Amino acid sequence: MSRIAVMGAGAWGTALALSLWRRGGHQIALWAHSPAVAATIRGTGENKLFLPGFAVPGEITVSSDVAEALAGAEIILSAMPSRHVRASYASFAAHLHAGQILVSATKGIEDGTLLRMSEVIAQVLAARNLSLPVAVLSGPSFAQELAAGAPTAVTIACSDTGVASLLQQEFGSGSLRLYTNDDVVGVELGGALKNVIALAAGVVAGLELGHNSAAALITRGIAETTRLAVACGGRRETLAGLSGMGDLILTCTGSLSRNRSVGIQLGRGATLADALAGLNGKVAEGVSTAFAALGLAERYGVEMPITSQVVAILKGERSPLAAIEELMARPGRDE
């Protein structure tokens, strides 16, 4: 029996903890940054703020104490928002040791540094003379559906293929199927960049432009995210898989997508502040990722017209309709 610590009790972290508990054969600890959230889950048996409607069994240890959550953990699965990853791992570091495996399930790029989440984690560990394997988990997966036990397939990526295979066995169940990959760059960027395209897809929906526009947006979206991922060292075929095209389709079309929902509100004329307020404390990673993605694109000389227009909308420099018109007016080119 492995002891797994799930660090982050938002909707995604809670759903992962429930999936691992349902699988059986593991001791599961769930860490919440907020003592109030931890207390509510323990007291009501439900994460009423982030994942209401799903029972959290008493067998899952819920705590806001880092030392308690990480005690004896062999696998540490983190699922906090990208902006909290660096500070969180800095607080985790004193409780980490050789022999543990770290898994990042956060989809984002760090503001300022433009680092992927596994790079942020590795940097924090290196500053403390720690060297632990870091894998990433990504793919088309809404928290609510994973929590409900709906069949879900994702990618587990690690430069050490043995670690990826081990995690495939430890996490896999009748409702969660994992495919291994050693392309950490491609898997992480696919998961992060699709949120930006989902914002654009939401704008298209908010403007009521129809299915033709949505299909074109999604298809050209995968083209530009693939260009950037390959420029950063990822593989083109990775972006055609679950962590690329699969996650993009889900997030651009699913009604549970926070990023798409924010885009819809922007398309209907809402301000960014009002659109984000409608999430009630939840995070739309695509907002910060759009700026980071554009920074990476400039660094590597990659053209990303959709991302550029998303950033212009977010900054209030261009209306959603004007952004679409500019995309349509771009010079013709080969596909």
SS3 79: coil
User: What tokens does 225 get?
Assistant: 């995210």
Angstrom CA distances, 333 to 79, 161, 328, 329, 330, stand at: 40, 39, 12, 12, 9
- The two three-digit tokens of residue 60, written as one number: 């899952």
Q: Per the annotation, does 118 bind a ligand?
A: no
Q: Mark out the alpha helices in the chain (DSSP H runs).
A: 11-23, 35-44, 66-70, 85-92, 117-126, 143-147, 161-171, 184-206, 211-231, 236-239, 247-253, 258-267, 272-277, 286-300, 305-314, 320-328
Question: According to the annotation, is 95 in a ligand binding site?
Answer: no
Known binding residue 183? Answer is no
- Dig out the tokens for 291 from the structure: 């700026």
**8 a known binding residue?**
yes
Any binding-site annotation on 285? yes
Is 55 known as a binding-site position?
A: no
32 known ligand binder: no
**Does 48 appear as a known binding residue?**
no
Q: Measured between alpha carbons, how far is 295 from 309 in angstroms, rounded to an integer?
A: 14
172 is in an annotated binding site: no
Instruction: Confirm whether residue 211 is marked as ligand binding.
Output: no
- In terms of phi and psi (left: phi > 0; alpha: psi -120 to 50; beta: otherwise), the region of 111 is beta
257 is in an annotated binding site: yes
Q: 12 among the known binding-site residues? A: yes
**CA pair distance 225, 229, nearest whole angstrom:** 6
To the query of whether residue 194 is one of the catalytic residues in this protein, the response is: yes
Count the alpha carbons within 13 Å of 75 in the hemisphere toward its beta carbon.
26
- Whether 2 has a binding-site annotation, put simply, is no
Judge residue 95's burial from the number of C-beta atoms within 10 Å of its C-beta, 0-12 exposed, 13-18 middle, 19 or more buried: middle
Is 247 among the annotated ligand-binding positions? yes
The total of other beta-carbon atoms located within 10 Å of residue 92's CB is 23
- Find out whether 139 is annotated in a ligand binding site: yes
User: Per the annotation, does 99 bind a ligand?
Assistant: no
Any residues with CB less than 8 A from the CB of 161 and at least 6 apart, and which?
180, 182
What tokens appear for 134 in the block? 């870091």
Is residue 195 marked as binding?
no
Q: Is the dihedral of CA 289, 295, 300, 306 positive or negative?
A: positive
Residue 270 marked ligand-binding: no
Closest CA to 232 of 175, 193, 287: 193
3-class secondary structure, 134: strand
From the candidates 26, 116, 194, 260, which is the catalytic residue?
Answer: 194
Q: Residues forming the annotated binding site for NADPH? A: 12, 33, 107, 143, 258, 283, 285
Q: Residues forming the annotated binding site? A: 8-13, 33, 107, 139, 141, 143, 194, 247, 257-259, 282-283, 285
Q: Residues forming the annotated binding site for substrate? A: 107, 258-259
Q: Residues forming the annotated binding site for NAD(+)? A: 8-13, 143, 258, 282
Q: Residues forming the annotated binding site for sn-glycerol 3-phosphate? A: 107, 139, 141, 194, 247, 257-259
Tell me which residues are annotated as active site: 194
